[in-house]
Amino acid sequence: MKLAKTLAVGVAFAVALMAGAASAKDIKIGLVVKSLGNGFFEAANKGAQEAAKELGGVEVIYTGPTSTTAEGQIEVINSLIAQGVDAIAISANDPDAVIPALKKAKQRGIKVISWDSGVNKDGRILQLNPSSNELIGKMCLTLVKDHLEGGKGDFAILSATTTSTNQNIWIDQMKKQLKDFAGLNLVTTVYGDDLSDKSYREAEGLLKSNPNVKVIVAPTTVGVLAASKVVEDKGLVGKVYVTGLGLPSEMAGAIKSGATKEFAIWNPIDLGYSATQIAYHLVKGDATGKPGTEIEAGRMGKIKVDEKGEAAMADPFIYNASNIDQFSKVF
Ligand code: RAM
């Protein structure tokens, strides 16, 4: 009798323990970024951790390669598969090269989405864009125009890597919409690979070989910062301007020095928050992510998936001397 009772208590205790273990960090989400050490992704991770805390029982594993390569991301994906994550949310360095690794993840029952820099259809359930791609392209050209005297002149693009999905889409959009911006002349596009040093050298080189360039537009937070440093270091403030997509916290100095008058970005914290919410609901099974459906994303409300399997968040916002101090404290 006594033994039976002890056994029963023991079993109950073991069951309670197992239930406890299952509810503690039930769901693991791998948040894969283009590379570590990029302030944009660190801000996105803040949002991701916020979502994890809010949802409860969720662990977000923030990870990525040290350099912006697809090979590095493939290694990271394989390691996440080995760790038994439930979902992977990736900002890809290449829309296709990561697909075989992501398909392997899918075969193991892992829910895969892309966010920020997309993966092509075959490799993910959906792609979360920060904003409308068309609008980002138009915004970049408007920023160039605003920095050119009389709204006319030569400009150049400093991008991230040559295979980066998001930058390539935005550059395409800029080229498509150039016809609506009379007097803007795109001279060249160079690639700094979202590495500070390389971006700096590329910006420096392009100004040397194209002395007529009056504006560098960098649709990357790493590039825009590096190009502003070149303008400051080479005594070009007031002669050449830099603009594009930047983080207020990183670009406050460039606004103060005059290397830029204004630039734009969406909220990276909200982006990481939403990607995590979406991944969570896909794992829970209360959302499919299929075209035409909606997914609950906590404080961001419902996110709608379009016919192409993509969703877009808010419009980009412009930062200048009037609001830089306020926002540089946020991201
Ligand atoms: C860099 C990355 C990221 C992009 C931002 C604007 O941090 O390339 O993918 O969205 O810039």
Render 91-128 in DSSP notation, one character per residue.
Answer: --SSTTTTHHHHHHHHHTT-EEEEESS---GGG-S-EE
- Whether 117 has a pLDDT exceeding 90, the answer reads yes
Q: How confident is the model at residue 4 (pLDDT cuts 50, 70, 90)?
A: low
Q: What is the pLDDT of residues 306-320, one digit of tens each?
A: 999 999 998 999 999
55 alpha carbon – ligand 1 mean position (Å): 26
Q: Compute the average pLDDT of residues 205-223.
A: 98
Counting ligand 1 atoms within 8 A of each CB, the residue from 245, 247, 313 with the most, and so the one to mutate, is: 245
CA of 166 to the centre of ligand 1 (A): 8
Whether 7 shows a pLDDT value over 70: the answer reads no
How far apart are the CA of 220 and the centre of ligand 1, in A? 5
Which domains does the chain possess? 7-131+268-313 (3.40.50.2300), 133-265 (3.40.50.2300)
pLDDT at 74: 98
The dihedrals phi and psi of 268, each to the nearest 5 degrees, come to: -70, -25
Contacts of 326 (CB under 8 A, 6+ apart): none
Residue 301 CA to ligand 1 center (angstroms) comes to 24
User: How far away, in angstroms, is 9 Cα from ligand 1 center?
Assistant: 55
Atom of ligand 1 nearest to the CA of 34: 9
Cβ-contact 148, 134 below 8 angstroms: no
Q: Which helix (H) or strand (E) holds 70?
A: helix 70-82
Of 191, 186, 253, 258, nearest to 222 (Cα)?
191
With tokens 């060249």, the residue in question is 188
Q: Which of 221, 269, 331 to mutate to test the pocket of ligand 1 (most atoms within 8 A of CB)?
A: 221
Confidence (pTM): 0.92
Do residues 88 and 110 touch, judged by C-beta distance below 8 A? yes
pLDDT of residue 11: 52
For residue 194 and ligand 1, the question of a CB distance below 6 A is answered with yes
| Res. 22: pLDDT tops 50 | no
3-state secondary structure of 185: strand
Q: Where are the beta strands (DSSP E) in the chain?
A: 27-32, 58-63, 87-90, 111-115, 127-129, 153-159, 184-191, 213-218, 241-244, 262-265, 294-296, 302-304, 310-312, 317-320
For ligand 1, say whether the CB of 34 is within 6 Å of any of its atoms.
yes
Q: Is the pLDDT of residue 212 over 70?
A: yes
The answer, yes or no, to whether residue 244 has pLDDT greater than 80, is yes
C-alpha 306, offset from chain centre = 19
Q: For residue 242, is pLDDT > 60?
A: yes
Residue among 173, 194, 196 whose CB has most ligand 1 atoms within 8 A, to mutate? 194
What's the rounded mean pLDDT across residues 213-227? 98
pLDDT band with cut points at 50, 70 and 90 for residue 1: very low
Structure tokens at 146: 């605003």
Q: What is the pLDDT of residue 21?
A: 42
Say yes or no: CB of residue 217 within 6 Å of ligand 1: no
User: Using 50, 70 and 90 to split pLDDT, how confident is the model at 8?
Assistant: low
Q: What percentage of the chain has pLDDT greater than the value 70?
A: 92
Task: Go through the chain and tell me how many residues it has.
Answer: 331
* 247 touches ligand 1 (CB under 6 Å): no
Residue type, 242: V
For residues 170 and 44, what is the distance between their CA atoms, to the nearest angstrom?
Answer: 20
Question: Please, which pLDDT band fits residue 113 given cuts at 50, 70 and 90?
Answer: very high
Answer whether residue 20 shows pLDDT above 60: no
Q: What is the pLDDT of residues 36-75, one digit of tens each?
A: 999 999 999 999 999 999 999 999 999 999 999 999 999 9
How far apart, in whole angstroms, are the C-alpha atoms of residue 312 and residue 108?
Answer: 28
Cβ contact 98:73 at 8 Å = yes
- 3-class DSSP state for residue 161? coil
Residue 3 has pLDDT above 70, yes or no: no
pLDDT tens, residue by residue, 66-104: 999 999 999 999 999 999 999 999 999 999 999 999 999
Residue 117: which residues within 8 A CB-CB, separation 6 or more?
34, 91, 92, 93, 164, 165, 166, 167
CA distances to 34, 170, 176 from 173, in Å: 22, 5, 5
Average pLDDT, the chain: 94
Span from the CA of 22 to the centroid of ligand 1 (angstroms): 36
Q: How far apart are CA 290 and CA 281, in angstroms?
A: 13
How many Å apart are CA 61 and CA 81, to the nearest integer? 12
What is the mean predicted confidence (pLDDT) over 11-35? 68
For ligand 1, whether the C-beta of 117 sits within 6 Å is yes
Using DSSP's 3-state secondary structure scheme, residue 224 falls into: helix
CA separation for the pair 1, 133 (Å, rounded)? 71
How many other C-beta atoms are found inside a 10 Å radius of the C-beta of residue 22? 10
